[in-house]
Structure 1
Amino acid sequence: MLQTPASRGVVDPSRFSSQSPGRLIPASGGLSAFVPHPLPPHDWELSQEIWPLLNEATNRLFLLEGIGRTLPNPLMLLGPLIRRESILSSRIEGTYATPRQLLLFELHPVEPRDHNDPESDWEEVANYVEAFRYSLESQLPLSLRLIRDWHRILMDGVRGKDRTPGEFRRTQVGIGNPHKPRFVPPPPQEIAECLDRFEKYINSSTPRFPPLIDCFLAHYQFETIHPFLDGNGRVGRLLLSTMIQIKSGLTKPWLHLSGYFDRHRQLYVDRLFAVSAENDWEGWIRLCLQATVSQAGETIERCQNLQGAYRDFLELLKGAKGSIRLAAIVDDLFSSPLVEPRALTRRLNVTYPTAQKDVDRLCELGILEPLPGTEFKTYWSRRVFEIAYAGVEPSPTDLNDTPNPFDSPTPPSAAE
């Protein structure tokens, strides 16, 4: 594997070749900071070897778009996708929450006592979901203003709230150990010019590369500029998903790559550094295209399985002559597979006994079952949950062995 500052433990100027797409300049503490050249790379073109992978990734992406267009309700897929991305993108940075913890936290937000509480992690992940929803509803174009808004929402009330949320940094930062950073991004006096050129690039009307390639180049550039004191990775991956939607002409942000980056975390870090040190755009682009093929394929399968579950549930309701209210509850399960009878009284404008009766009927049909260990009476659709969050949540056996759904596994070590 490529030797990176992550393995050397401190920035080593000798690792940066003469082909590096940037310059090293003195920074505070006697360190060398890296300032990337503006995009696009002036001395790099797509090789013939990369085109087949690009074509496969593009085809997978548009197959996913075609399936997404057929959904009766986009939230059937978007809800789980956004939560998965929020969980996995946060996990890369060492912030850990399971889907079950996140879903229950959304039902009943709890103010963390301090930043060591598990609730603090859940709130951070929930903020990521809110930032994504803001992106879907915002009329703002791709811009520095939108990026600052994402950051402000992401940092609201959590660790990092005292680190100028929504503002670009005015001090030097290093990535890794504060005393021996493995990478030092541009000094604060360089940030404004770097970001101005970055904003112009992502809004260019005459791109030199295909849309996916442009998005991956921009993701590298944003992470290398590292414009905030905290939260750069999560904001950068949110920007990546949004750019892929806009640049590729998708109706919704169907594609998210954090699942692949999380599984190949060290390679993700290595490839980012290899661009800066050795001008290895090819390795970085190949990794991102492989991530696209993998994640698009997984999402297509997940979407088809969710559609199958939806059809089966409707058949159950039809056979049981279910009411319109039962159909409404089933529809909502694909946005969030957790149901509280008391919440249904407001959602359906019915009394609590009526809401409980509807839930009991869905339990009889095998669509819902009680969720143990919750403060308020809660039910879940196991089938929807397992399809939507496969690979993110502990196995069903583990869940049954753990009566308290708020139990949190030990988080993996952070990559950044």
Structure 2
Amino acid sequence: MTWSPDTPYDGLPLLPPRGELESRRVLKATIEARDALARFDARARALPNPTVLINAIPLLEAQASSEIENIVTTTDELFSAAVADVSATPAAREALRYRSALRCGYEQVGRRPLTASTAAEICAVIRGHDEGFRRGEVFIGDPATRRRVYTPPAGRETLERLLDNWSAFLNEPIDLDPLVRMAVAHYQFEAIHPFTDGNGRTGRIMNVLMLCDAGLLHLPLLYLSRYIIESKDEYYRLLRLVTSEGAWEDWVLYVVEGVRATSLRTCELVDKIEDVQDSVLDAVRSVVGSANHDLVALLMEQPYARSLDVMGRCGVSRPTAAKWLRGLVAEGTLHELRVGRQVLFINQSMMSVLTA
């Protein structure tokens, strides 16, 4: 079936694609990307407190992935809302659901195969309700001209056939590098477009889960959405070229380079976070009189913290918690912010690193 942007692409070819996927250029790129990814994975696993990354990076990914869909919130809004939910804007709440969806998906890795059902569960968390797979026709339009640029497949039987094939491709034992498999699967998922909304965010979560499922990542910490934001036009251009011309090599190279570049960038982020942790430890020693590692861990894991959090984590009274926090404010490590009836204490250095 010839592809046309104005009619449902019911003839979307099944996976795996015909022709060579692992060209010489692709194989060279996957070697470099997997080396960078392995270095990042080892770096993250070696952290004394990996919870710092587990809390921070999914929020950054949530913000960036939502931004691709024009759901714009700030890093400060997100970290504040994660603690004081009453202050959350609708955009922040939607981004926080992305983080919840990522965690929900990660909990399934290793317990059962990744399939279209996994994607449906993730999309339901992202959207806040479960609509299941779409039944009607949708189309993707150019924001400027409002003309159709792509019409995904339509019809229940067609979607079921394509999603069953996609699920099988994720799990069948084929001799294909996991990064290449991820790139191919991501294109196909976006081309199927199985939901009325949330396809992009669901697809980006599935990317990370595929890497975890393949054993290339031990924690869901690859921050790929920022790479897509920085090259958004190229991302959509290459997706369209696969559809119109079967240009798989350039698409796979783009995705593999995203893994490489993001791995290196996130390694640098880890280094900066460790520097902040050292400075917070010094400040806590000065204010508290000892290296209270529970307090340090809390301030790193929750850059927006409350007295109540300190009381629970450190097992101290409210006056003691308030004394410590205000001492760290006076010392310049924390910034005090009132949000509604709550007082939040912000780890400024950590937020500066995360918002850089």
Aligned partner of 2:89: which letter? E
Matched, 1:102 2:82: no
Q: Name the counterpart of 1:144.
A: 116
Q: Within 5 A, what are the aligned runs for 1:304-315?
A: 304-315=271-282
**Counterpart for residue 293 of structure 1:** 260
Alignment of 1:103-252 (within 5 A): 103-110=79-86, 119-138=89-108, 139-156=111-128, 161=129, 165-176=130-141, 180-189=147-156, 190-204=158-172, 206-252=173-219
1:28-65 per-position Cα deviation (integer Å, ceiling 9, x unaligned): xx734254212211212322223332221111000101
How many angstroms apart in 1 are the aligned matches of 2:313 and 2:152?
Answer: 48
Structure 1 residues 330 and 220: alpha-carbon distance in aligned structure 2, compared to 1, 3 A threshold: same
Native 8 Å contact 1:65 1:251 kept in 2: yes
Count of matched residue positions in the alignment of Structure 1 and Structure 2: 351
| Contact kept in structure 2, 1:64 and 1:254, CA below 8 Å | no
Find the aligned partners of 1:368 and 1:221 in 2 and give their Cα distance: 46
In the other structure, the counterpart of 1:71 is: 47
CA distance in 2, matches of 1:251, 1:201: 22
SS of equivalent residue, structure 1 residue 200: helix
Structure 1 residues 341-388: Cα deviation after superposition (integer angstroms, max 9, x where no partner): 244344444432222012123234433222367652211111111112
- Whether the 8 Å contact between 2:97 and 2:125 is mirrored in structure 1 is yes
Counterpart selection for 1:42 from 12, 18, 42: 18
Corresponding residue for residue 404 of structure 1: none
Contact 1:68 1:74 in 2 (8 A): yes
- Divergent runs of 4+, >6 A: none
Distance (whole Å) between structure 1 residues aligned to residue 18 and residue 293 of structure 2: 56
Report the secondary structure of 1:87's partner residue.
helix
Give a deviation string over 1:234-261, Cα, whole Å, max 9, x none: 0000000111122143211232311010
Q: Letter of the aligned partner of 2:123 in structure 1? A: H
Q: What's the RMSD between the two structures over aligned residues? A: 2.4
TM-score computed with the length of structure 2 as normaliser:
0.91
Q: 1:74 to 1:343 in 2, by over 3 A?
A: closer
- In the alignment, structure 1 residue 262 sits paired with structure 2 residue 229: yes
C-alpha separation in 2, matches of 1:135 and 1:73: 22
Q: Which residue identity does 1:126 align to in structure 2?
A: L
Partner in structure 1 of residue 347 of structure 2: 381
Hey, what's the Cα distance between the residues in 1 that align with 2:302 and 2:161? 43
Could you tell me how far 1:110 is from its partner in structure 2? 3.9
Sort the Cα spacing of 1:176 and 1:41 in 2 relative to 1 into closer, same or farther, 3 A: same
Structure 1 residue 127 displacement after superposition: 0.6
Q: Helix, strand or coil for the counterpart of 1:371?
A: strand
**Shift in alpha-carbon separation, 1:300–1:374, aligned structure 2, 3 A:** farther
Q: In proportion to residue count, which structure has more helix?
A: 2
Q: Does 1:59 align with 2:35?
A: yes
Question: In structure 1, what is the equivalent of residue 318 of structure 2?
Answer: 352
Residue identity in the other structure for 1:209: L
- Alignment TM-score, normalising by the size of structure 1: 0.78
Cα contact 2:8–2:154 (8 A) shared by 1: no
SS state at 1:42 partner = coil
**Would the aligned equivalents of 1:95 and 1:121 in 2 still touch at CA under 8 Å?**
yes
Partner SS, residue 182 of structure 1: strand
SS in 2 for 1:250: coil
1:355 partner letter: A
Q: In the superposition, relative to structure 1, how do residues 358 and 44 fare at CA in structure 2: closer, same or farther (>3 Å)?
A: same
Question: Aligned pair in 2 of structure 1 residues 89, 362: CA closer, same or farther (>3 Å)?
Answer: same
Deviates more, 1:39-48 or 1:97-106: 39-48
C-alpha distance in structure 2 between counterparts of 1:110 and 1:76, whole Å: 23
* Letter matched to residue 49 of structure 1: R
Partners of 2:123 and 2:136 in 1: CA distance: 17
Structure 1: any 5+ residue segments left out of the alignment? 1-22, 112-117, 391-416
State the AA in 2 paired with 1:106: A
Cα separation, partners in 2 of 1:69 and 1:224, compared to 1, 3 Å: same
1:275 is aligned to 2:234: no
1:88 pairs, out of 50, 58, 64, with 64
Worse overlay, 341-350 or 91-100: 341-350
Q: Do 2:36 and 2:263's aligned partners in 1 also have CA atoms closer than 8 Å?
A: yes
Matches within 5 A, 1:391-410: none
The code of the aligned residue for 2:245 comes to E
